[in-house]
Amino acid sequence: MERYLLVALGGALGSALRYGLGAWVQVLTGPSFPYSTLLINALGSFLIGVVIRLSLEGALSGEGRLFLAVGVLGGFTTFSTFSYETLALLQDGEVGRALVYVLASVFLGLLLVLLGYRLGGALVA
């Protein structure tokens, strides 16, 4: 039961952080492109790289990994929102913008998870 509580509390925190950061970025950038979701997914990818590496190196407990990776970052990242926003761009005839969004999200996510993983390794070295 404790593990479920860790995930639930982390998920609530991650969701609240996603909402706050997303609203702030949208105020700065406007609604014409889903910059907030792109930023959140990229940042979440970086942070999960750090968390997983720290966990694998023994610098973070299993409970800490569960709370942060599954709970906080699971609530923080927004892949379902990303999918819907891509569909909305396509339905609006914005094929080029949808393609840029998908490619940027995937490549930034992969790059940042790698960088986060390496940073996690450097932190325990």
Q: Is the pLDDT reported for residue 125 higher than 90?
A: no
Give the integer Cα–Cα distance in Å for 61 and 58.
Answer: 7
- How would DSSP label each residue in 21-61? HHHHHHHHH-SSS-HHHHHHHHHHHHHHHHHHHHHHTTSS-
Q: What is the pLDDT of residues 73-104, one digit of tens each?
A: 999 998 888 998 999 999 999 999 999 999 99
The domain of 37 spans 2-124
Give the per-residue pLDDT at 81. 83
Give the per-residue pLDDT at 84. 87
Residue 13 corresponds to which tokens in the numbers above?
């925190």
Give the per-residue pLDDT at 53. 94
Give the integer Cα–Cα distance in Å for 47 and 96.
Answer: 29
Specify the DSSP class assigned to residue 68: I
Task: Please compute the mean of the pLDDT values over residues 1-18 and round it to a whole number.
Answer: 97
Mean pLDDT of all residues in the chain? 95
Count the Cβ atoms, other than its own, within 10 Å of residue 1.
5
Q: Is the pLDDT reported for residue 28 higher than 90?
A: yes
The pTM for the full model equals: 0.85
Q: What is the pLDDT of residues 29-84, one digit of tens each?
A: 998 999 999 999 999 999 999 999 999 999 999 999 999 999 999 999 988 889 98
Please check if 74 is assigned to a binding site.
yes
Helix (H) or strand (E) holding 110: helix 95-124
What total number of domains does the chain contain? 1
**Tokens 């299993």 — which residue?**
62
pLDDT band at 26 (very low <50, low <70, confident <90, very high): very high
CA 88 to each of CA 32, 35, 67: distance values in angstroms, whole numbers, following the listed order? 12, 14, 32
